[in-house]
Amino acid sequence: MIRNKFSDKLTLWSIIFIFSILINSVALKSAPLISDFPPVRDALECTAREGLPHFFRKIRKGEEIRIAYLGGSITAQAGWRVKSLGYFKKTYPNCKFSEINAAIGGTGSDLGVLRIDHDVLSKQPDLMFVEFAVNDSNSDPVEIAKSMEGIVRKTWKAFPKCDICFVYTFTDSPLFQDLKIGKLNRSAATMEVIADFYAIPSIHLGLEAVHLEKVGKLIMKAPEVKLERVSGDELNQSDKLPLSAEGKIHFSGDGVHPYINTGHQLYMEAIERSLPLIRSASKKSRSHHLNGPFNPNNYENTITIDPDKAKLEGEWMKLPQNDEVVNPFANRVSSFWRGAAGATLTLQFKGEAVEIYDLLGPDGCRLEITIDGQISYVNRIDGYCTYRRLAITKAAFNQDPTKIHELKIKILTEKPDKRNILFEQNRADFDKNPKKYEGNYWFVGAIFVAGELIN
């Protein structure tokens, strides 16, 4: 069995990292990369810290409770999210539970902190689970910390009695190798620093599965399966048999998205084991008061603007909510604009970053991004894009927050090499449906500014 532990003290690493942040803040420089100070951290199934005091108080009183699930595709599946909500309803029948499903496949905490106002806070949560360790696994740890802290501070500014719990999942990638030697991968270890600072409980959902694989009782994935999608109902699969012919549990088909009746069941059992520890630690009922931030440059003060608040030149069209492109995402964004080849979007801002909520898809384009005269390029189609999904374009980042910057984005006439961009297993769709890939558009849903817009 996995041994559960909890601690309410900062680790030595946390103290070192906080000290480094403070030094750099005084020097008016951005925080150093956590890779300069590797956060070696033991993998524990549960770290209760100060628990979920308001959640359990509401349970004692039999009140209505709204639970938000902010995460990526593993949370979007009908797995641990659905199972945990069902568990709460069954275990505490005197309460009325409702769900805020704020999971979007293929996205990380960088988008989570920007969309939390629309997707979670507008629905007044009482408890929020945050799951981004997998999708953040290749992200800059400083950016992870800024995003996760922004999620916490935005939430507690709006709802100081909303409890938060970080949850960590894993894949058969290097994350798995870290766990097999008893250590957290870098993204989860970074999130634990923020959890330490704000006394937020955390649960690693995958340690029992790692243990079972190590002792030869679990197979992480069917080796012939290749990951073709990172979102959608197609990910909601169950194993045909709970055990293989060799008596081993099949965890997932692709090494990423657990089967509903095996991998996700192991995830749910981790939650069940952890809740008594978290409840025991939940002794304070005061509001979550915010003191000084861990990193003053975190993303708590982002603003959201519609695309037409920028300067739009060339061929742009605001799409109606019932448009076939917009309709699947209408609950996420108030409006979508479609730009054609040659069109530009320009804005001036004072701040550190600009990120743009958009779509990746088969009719995507190539963008030329110019920030203060520096040019870069990005494609709005990737290897998964036999379908459209929500994504984010990081148009400007790590800018001097004291200066005014000009950002200009142009949709290039030259199309990206779409067939070669697609993963090999997805190229058959290109060959079979070439017209699906003929479009050359940019679909823009919202603009997020870490700073202020300059008209």
Q: For residue 376, what are the CA distances in angstroms to 123, 314, 368? A: 37, 20, 6
CA distance 290 to 269: 32
Q: How many CA atoms lie within 13 A of 403 on its CB side?
A: 8
What digits encode the pLDDT tens for the residues 119-174?
A: 999 999 999 999 999 999 999 999 999 999 999 999 999 999 999 999 999 998 87
Spell out the CATH class of 306-454. mainly beta
Number of C-beta neighbours around residue 278 at 10 A: 26
The pLDDT score that the predictor gives to residue 173 is: 81
21: pLDDT confidence band, cut at 50, 70 and 90?
very low
Q: What angle do CA 93, 99, 102 make, to 5 degrees?
A: 160
Residues 414 and 205: their CA atoms lie apart, in Å, by: 45
Beta bridge partners of 409: 345, 369
Lowest mean pLDDT among 61-70, 271-280, 327-336: 327-336
Three-state DSSP class for residue 236: coil
Convert the pLDDT of each residue in 406-450 to its tens digit: 999 999 999 999 999 999 999 999 999 999 999 999 999 999 999
Q: What is the dihedral of CA 339, 414, 409, 370, to 10 degrees?
A: 180
- Taking domain 12-281, whether its CATH number is 3.40.50.1110 is answered by yes
Categorize the per-residue pLDDT at 244 as very low, low, confident or very high, splitting at 50, 70 and 90: low
Helix (H) or strand (E) holding 367: strand 366-371
Q: What is the mean pLDDT of residues 52-68?
A: 97
Query: pTM (2 decimals)?
Result: 0.84
Q: Looking at residue 19, what is its pLDDT?
A: 41
Query: Domain residues of the chain, as ranges?
Result: 12-281, 306-454
Tell me the pLDDT of the chain averaged across its residues: 89
Give 190's contacts (C-beta < 8 A, 6+ positions apart). 34, 39, 136, 141, 144, 145, 148
Stretch 282-309: mean pLDDT, rounded?
90
The answer to whether 266 and 251 are in contact (CB under 8 A) is yes
pLDDT at site 231? 67
Residue-level pLDDT at 30: 40
Give the tokens for residue 240.
Answer: 């045909």
pLDDT in tens, 191-224: 999 999 999 999 999 999 999 999 999 999 876 6
